Structure 1
Amino acid sequence: MVKELIIDSTPEKGVTIALLQDKQLVELNTEKVDNHYAVGDIYLGRIKKIMPGLNAAFVDVGYEKDAFLHYLDLGPQVQSLLKLSRIVKNGSYQEKLLSSLKLEKDIDKAGKISDILSKNTLIPVQIAKEPISTKGPRLSSDLSIAGRFAVLVPFSSSVSISKRIKGNAERNRLKKIVESIKPPNFGVIIRTVSEGKGVEELQKDLQDLISKWERFTKRLKDVEPAQKVLGEMDRASTILRDILTDEFSHIYVSDSGIYDEVKSYVQEISPDLERIVKFYKSKEPIFEHYGVEKQIKASFGRTVNLHGGAYLVIEHTEALHVIDVNSGNRIASKENQEDNALLVNKEAAKEIARQLRLRDMGGIVVIDFIDMHKATNRKDLYVFLKECMAGDRARHTILPPSKFGLVQITRQRVRPEMSVVTSEKCPACDGTGEIRSSIVLLDDIESNLSFILQEQNEKSISLFVHPYIDAYIKKGWISRRLKWFLKYGKWIKVKPVASYYLTEFHFFNAKEEEIKL
């Protein structure tokens, strides 16, 4: 499988990152310019309200809506975190790490939040879910700092290993390495990409995480409530940290500043892959050049077409997402109707797995596949869907088909769902359904022409129009263009552009720059 990353940056939209697998778009991530609440950011929160009925608290982290912190998200060592926060704020904490800090007893899993927190308590909290719809951020005080090979967990001592690392010998090797280099009172989660890595690489990554923790404790002393204490990396670097492997063939970046950052980061985490980072210099938009824009337009929207005539209908609600699979014009005889349904359902399952990643759909997803009567076929579809979703980094659970043929999926939602408007406002009528009368089009062109030549004194201009208008201007022995030459004493170049709508026209100067009117 060949993977590519295309990174585009514009002042209006921010940074948009497209992940392609074998040239097919599978993930689309956007980092907006004004997005101040990214998953992983740590803030100094102030408790605004305790809700005993919910066993939760609302916390001020500077967002317009108070953030939500549930008791189960406090973490077992929240008392140690509160203790550290008090000591650091008082200025009596001189150590950078936690070796001399006496850890408090773990809180009761079935306890009450009112026993732990009270109004106006200051507590460091981490963004677990970005603000979605009308809801504020979801928080956790079970802090963790993610690196490329490991995740550092303060106030713990355990070393856990990703379930995707299967070999017992490799798991034991990694555990021994990390246990020998981790500092006291810190736990570590070993990530999948650590498989096969040596002591030097793991130690460097762990040292980077320890440096981040030191920055956290240093900033915590002076930071004001509701301010950020430690920020997560930008979206591009986060994606590279989590998914960069030898399978990547190219990383194309359209912005010089982001290119330098990405190249520097790749050089730091995987020097042998630095060569694949390329700066895109062409004038054509990067997403159009690599076919991403077309895939975006085809993949988003209520209806998604599949090969062979089948299609999906995707409906979004506040509570859940519903996906309906339709066979469309795909016709089969009665003898192989069951086999045909299985083929269409498998094709749909593959696209649904891609759509969940692409749109970052979270929460509950209900899929209405085409009915199949054989239990073996239903089981075959269920297994195939699980295989298709095996590469999804978001936590998810898939239930077997119900007796009504519905498949239910729950998928982790940590940021707002990716939504792309695939319909466009008509440029000819500006959405009104009416256009300017074509009979006065030539009058409009000539009026602008007169202004450009006589008022702006342009020496040489070109007129770009629809091919029909181009033919009309040039037709006859005494053409409209000849009349313009006799009137203004300058020859006007007229060029047809097939993509223009009928009444669209633009003027360009000798440098091929558009003359704005």
Structure 2
Amino acid sequence: MVKELIINSSPSGVTIALLQDKQLVELNTEQVNNNYAVGDIYMGKIKKIMPGLNAAFVDVGYEKDAFLHYLDLGPQVQSLLKLTKIVKNGSYRDKLLNSFRLEADINKSGKISEILNRNMLLPVQIAKEPISTKGPRLSSDISIAGRFSVLVPFSDVISISKKIKSNTERTRLKKIVESIKPKNFGVIIRTVSEGKGVAELQKDLLDLIDKWEKFSKRLPHTEPSKKILGEMGRTSTILRDILNADFTNIHIQDPSLYEEVRSYVHEISPEMDKIVKHYRGKEPIFEHFGIEKQIKAAFGRTVNLPGGAYLVIEHTEALHVIDVNSGNRTANTENQDQNALMINMEAAKEIARQLRLRDMGGIVVIDFIDMHKPQNRKELFDYLKEQMLLDRAKHTILPPSKFGLVQLTRQRVRPEMNIVTNEKCPACDGTGEIKASIILMDDIENNLNYILNEQNEKHVTLCVHPYIEAYIKKGLFSRQWKWFFKYNKWITVKQSPSYYLTEFHFLNSKEEEIKL
């Protein structure tokens, strides 16, 4: 499987497209002023305690108070509160936790009112970005993520990714981390650590410790509802989490972003910095790599499948519904169940891609084409689970119900990617009506008169639909010649097949459009 990242930069932010075998599978957008990204740590101020929800609303500077549930406090929240209090008082100078005495873990079935009080200050981490009408979701179980490991303060536990199967490798990694981790810090060893040497793991862990020291240094001076420590940008975060030997190219158009990404890749994986390439083409990078076309094809309400079937995707506040339709696919009348299975498996592959591409989260209900044989339903279920293994978001899939519906839940930590693929009609501007075509030439000549006489443009080019160009140039004494005698200037007329019939634009000598 060939993987590529295409990164497009604009004034509003950065858009990152992940391609697998030239097919778009993920699209991530990093806004310029995204102050509530997953992983950011804020100094929260408790505004309300809600005993009925066993939760609290916390002020982190967002327009709506953030939500903190008791289960998201973390077992060592008492230690975090204690550290915050003594650091604010100036009685704790250690940047790490070597001399810090940990508090007992809280009761898993306790009450939030026993732990938190109104107006209390508590460092919190963004677990979910603001979505729709809801504020951010918080956790006070703070962790700092790196490429190979995750640093967890107020713990001594070393956890290893379940995807690392070899017992020998698990033992090796645990011994390495035990020898270099600081006191009162736990570590989660990530899957990409498999096979890595001591130097790489130590450098990654030292970087995380350095971030904790920055957190400790800023903690006494950070005002309530202000950011203490920010997560890396979305671009670096994606590279940190998914970059591996399967990647062949990372194409970037913006020169400064290219240097930044190349430097970061060299830092985390020096042998791969050659795959970072600066795109210097004239056309936009997404058009050059065919991403713009894939976006338009993939984000509509209806998604066509290669075999003739299609999906209809509907979104509501509470859930997403996906309907699988056979379309004009020719059914095998002798074996309808087998034909339905083929369509359903094709749809399952595209659905797994759509969930990643649109970053759809929450509850998803899929209405596959009915199949009567239990073995076919099991085969479809197993195939869908296999396709979903590529998805990094946590998800749970239930077997098909007796109605033929498959239900799944998918972790949602960011707003769903929603791109409008329908375009406003340029001829009518969305009204359904256009100007009377009989006055088209009057409009052109009025604008031409204004450009030449009022703006004193020396060289003017008129761009129109091919039919209008032919009309302007027709005959021995054409309108083009009439304009020449009237203005004593030759008006170049060019055709553009992409224009609608009554569309026209004027260009100056630099081929720039003249705004009217």
TM-score range normalised by the length of the shorter chain:
over 0.9
Q: How far is 1:34 from its partner?
A: 2.9
Q: State how far apart, in whole Å, the 2-side matches of 1:290 and 1:103 are.
A: 54
Cross-structure match for 1:449: 448
Which residues of 2 match residues 114-193 of structure 1 at below 5 A? Answer: 114-193=113-192
Cross-structure match for 2:86: 87
Does residue 417 (structure 1) correspond to residue 405 (structure 2)? The answer is no
- 1:353-397 CA distances to partner (integer Å, 9 max, x unpaired)? 000000101111111100111111111111100110101000001
SS of 1:16's equivalent in the other structure is strand
Which residues of 2 match residues 69-108 of structure 1 at below 5 A? Answer: 69-108=68-107
Stretch deviating more after TM superposition (425-434 or 270-279): 270-279
Cross-structure match for 2:8: 8
Cross-structure match for 1:218: 217
Q: State how far apart, in whole Å, the 2-side matches of 1:460 and 1:247 are.
A: 53
Q: How far is 1:249 from its partner?
A: 1.5
Cross-structure match for 2:269: 270
Which residues of 2 match residues 313-324 of structure 1 at below 5 A? Answer: 313-324=312-323
Q: State how far apart, in whole Å, the 2-side matches of 1:515 and 1:280 are.
A: 30
Q: State how far apart, in whole Å, the 1-side matches of 2:320 and 2:455 are.
A: 56
TM-score of the superposed pair, with normalisation by structure 2 = 0.98
Stretch deviating more after TM superposition (157-166 or 340-349): 157-166
- 1:304-337 CA distances to partner (integer Å, 9 max, x unpaired)? 1111210111111111111110101112132121
Cross-structure match for 2:374: 375
Cross-structure match for 1:336: 335
Q: State how far apart, in whole Å, the 2-side matches of 1:270 and 1:436 are.
A: 60
Cross-structure match for 1:58: 57
Which residues of 2 match residues 187-202 of structure 1 at below 5 A? Answer: 187-202=186-201
SS of 1:402's equivalent in the other structure is coil
SS of 2:433's equivalent in the other structure is coil
Q: State how far apart, in whole Å, the 1-side matches of 2:359 and 2:125 are.
A: 21
Q: How far is 1:257 from its partner?
A: 2.5
Q: State how far apart, in whole Å, the 1-side matches of 2:275 and 2:475 are.
A: 56
- 1:459-495 CA distances to partner (integer Å, 9 max, x unpaired)? 2221111111111111112111111112122222111
Q: How far is 1:458 from its partner?
A: 2.2
Cross-structure match for 2:202: 203
SS of 1:308's equivalent in the other structure is coil
Counterpart of 2:284 in structure 1: which amino acid?
Answer: P
Q: State how far apart, in whole Å, the 2-side matches of 1:32 and 1:90 are.
A: 36
Counterpart of 1:432 in structure 2: which amino acid?
Answer: T
Q: State how far apart, in whole Å, the 2-side matches of 1:454 and 1:249 are.
A: 57
Stretch deviating more after TM superposition (90-99 or 454-463): 454-463
Q: State how far apart, in whole Å, the 2-side matches of 1:245 and 1:501 are.
A: 47
Q: State how far apart, in whole Å, the 1-side matches of 2:98 and 2:299 are.
A: 51
Q: State how far apart, in whole Å, the 2-side matches of 1:264 and 1:236 are.
A: 13
SS of 1:46's equivalent in the other structure is strand
Q: State how far apart, in whole Å, the 1-side matches of 2:498 and 2:219 are.
A: 57
Counterpart of 1:5 in structure 2: which amino acid?
Answer: L
SS of 1:427's equivalent in the other structure is coil
Cross-structure match for 1:292: 291
Unaligned 5+ runs, structure 2: none
- 1:431-462 CA distances to partner (integer Å, 9 max, x unpaired)? 11111111111111112222222232222221
Q: State how far apart, in whole Å, the 2-side matches of 1:174 and 1:507 are.
A: 67
- 1:55-89 CA distances to partner (integer Å, 9 max, x unpaired)? 11110001111100001000000000001101111
Does residue 238 (structure 1) correspond to residue 237 (structure 2)? The answer is yes
Q: How far is 1:281 from its partner?
A: 2.7
Stretch deviating more after TM superposition (59-68 or 491-500): 491-500
Stretch deviating more after TM superposition (343-352 or 443-452): 443-452
- 1:141-187 CA distances to partner (integer Å, 9 max, x unpaired)? 00000000100000011111111111111111111111111111101
Counterpart of 2:150 in structure 1: which amino acid?
Answer: V
State the Cα RMSD in Å.
1.0
Q: State how far apart, in whole Å, the 1-side matches of 2:384 and 2:145 are.
A: 30
Cross-structure match for 1:43: 42
Q: State how far apart, in whole Å, the 2-side matches of 1:155 and 1:198 are.
A: 26
- 1:260-306 CA distances to partner (integer Å, 9 max, x unpaired)? 22111111111121122122233322111111111111101211111
Cross-structure match for 1:400: 399
Cross-structure match for 1:304: 303
Q: State how far apart, in whole Å, the 1-side matches of 2:279 and 2:343 are.
A: 39
Q: State how far apart, in whole Å, the 2-side matches of 1:5 and 1:350 are.
A: 21
Q: State how far apart, in whole Å, the 2-side matches of 1:242 and 1:66 are.
A: 30
SS of 1:237's equivalent in the other structure is helix
- 1:28-54 CA distances to partner (integer Å, 9 max, x unpaired)? 111122321000000000111111111
SS of 2:335's equivalent in the other structure is helix
SS of 1:222's equivalent in the other structure is coil
Q: How far is 1:117 from its partner?
A: 0.6
Stretch deviating more after TM superposition (251-260 or 207-216): 251-260
Q: State how far apart, in whole Å, the 1-side matches of 2:146 and 2:439 are.
A: 64
SS of 2:334's equivalent in the other structure is helix
Stretch deviating more after TM superposition (274-283 or 410-419): 274-283
Counterpart of 1:10 in structure 2: which amino acid?
Answer: S
Cross-structure match for 2:484: 485
SS of 1:500's equivalent in the other structure is coil
Q: State how far apart, in whole Å, the 1-side matches of 2:298 and 2:101 are.
A: 54
Q: How far is 1:236 from its partner?
A: 0.5
Counterpart of 1:27 in structure 2: which amino acid?
Answer: E
- 1:404-437 CA distances to partner (integer Å, 9 max, x unpaired)? 1111111100011110001111111111111111
Cross-structure match for 2:390: 391
SS of 1:215's equivalent in the other structure is helix
Cross-structure match for 2:109: 110
Q: State how far apart, in whole Å, the 1-side matches of 2:210 and 2:501 are.
A: 62
Q: State how far apart, in whole Å, the 1-side matches of 2:455 and 2:361 are.
A: 56
Q: State how far apart, in whole Å, the 2-side matches of 1:275 and 1:508 are.
A: 42
- Segments of 4+ moved more than 6 angstroms: none
Q: State how far apart, in whole Å, the 1-side matches of 2:281 and 2:456 are.
A: 32
Counterpart of 1:240 in structure 2: which amino acid?
Answer: L
Counterpart of 1:257 in structure 2: which amino acid?
Answer: S
SS of 1:307's equivalent in the other structure is coil
Q: State how far apart, in whole Å, the 1-side matches of 2:206 and 2:327 are.
A: 56
Q: State how far apart, in whole Å, the 2-side matches of 1:146 and 1:134 are.
A: 28
TM-score of the superposed pair, with normalisation by structure 1 = 0.98
Q: State how far apart, in whole Å, the 1-side matches of 2:101 and 2:307 are.
A: 65
- 1:218-277 CA distances to partner (integer Å, 9 max, x unpaired)? 111100000000000011010000001121121122222322221111111111211221
Stretch deviating more after TM superposition (378-387 or 434-443): 434-443
Q: State how far apart, in whole Å, the 2-side matches of 1:168 and 1:108 are.
A: 33
